Amino acid sequence: MNNSKDLGFIVLGISILLGLATLGYLLKDAAVEFKSFERTVTVKGLAEEEHLADIVIWPIQFTEAGNSLDGTYQALENSADKVRSFLTDSGIEEDEISFSTPLLTDRSAQLYGGNENFQYRYIASQTATIYSENVEQVREIMSGLVDLGKQGVTLSGNEYEIRPEYIFNRLNEIKPRMIEQATNEARQVAEKFAEDSNSRLGKIKTASQGQFSIMDRDNNNPHIKKVRVVSTIVYYLSD
């Protein structure tokens, strides 16, 4: 009886060992196949386009000086009228023009002004801002700004304060096309890699769209915007 029982345990043990060996072989084979299936290539696709800005914001700062408070304010008001007339005569609509609150400095009242002699006690300044969608028209008017100087308007402000700002608002219109361009370029790169490595290009594993960037084409043409996006795509490879 004991011999029969021992023989049964031996047979069971051998069966278990064979089963484990077979399972191990199958799992190893599956792991090799899975590893082969996981061969991938990561590529990037670039899309770039140039577009004219949609909106221009153009500040024009002007200044008046005098020793009479009322006289300085009146001179500034006269300059504002000349600026307004210059712009409307050039084709700018009234609702595209806004004027800031006049800013006046009493040089004799400045705490840290010292006892320097100065010709004028009051310095007043104001800024007219043009906000327009007619970018090319406004740029043409900019070239004629010297006419205001001939009319006695004193233009002021540093380069940063009076620099026009250009805005591009049509990004949503061109997004689908640019994403498609970036994706197609990435696929071409992946196909070339697969060909060079004697592989076949499979399906997309993952894809991520980079952020769109909008920048001036160059320092001399800030009204022309360069729109750019990079897409990163991971493809499966197979033999």
Query: 100-119, pLDDT tens digit by residue?
Result: 999 999 988 765 655 567 78
Of the given ranges (122-131, 169-178, 205-214), which has the lowest mean pLDDT?
Answer: 205-214
pLDDT at residue 47, as a whole number: 96
pLDDT at res. 210: 85
Percent of the chain exceeding pLDDT 70 equals: 80
pLDDT on residue 26: 47
Q: How many CB atoms lie within 10 A of CB 124?
A: 22
2 or 142, greater pLDDT: 142
Please give the structure tokens belonging to residue 223. Answer: 């009204």
pLDDT at 86: 96
The per-residue pLDDT of the chain, averaged, comes to 85
Alpha-carbon torsion (211, 135, 124, 80), positive or negative: negative
Q: What is the pLDDT of residues 118-143, one digit of tens each?
A: 788 999 999 999 999 999 999 999 98
Check if the beta carbon of residue 182 is closer than 8 Å to that of residue 175: no
Query: For residue 64, which of 101, 31, 104 has the smallest C-alpha distance?
Result: 104
Q: Where are the beta strands (DSSP E) in the chain?
A: 40-52, 55-66, 97-99, 103-106, 122-132, 154-156, 165-167, 200-209, 213-216, 224-238
Please tell me the chain's helix, strand, coil percentages from 3-state DSSP, rounded to the nearest 5. 45, 35, 25
Q: Which residues contact 148 (CB under 8 A, 6 or more apart)?
A: 60, 62, 82, 83, 86, 155
Single pTM value for the model: 0.75
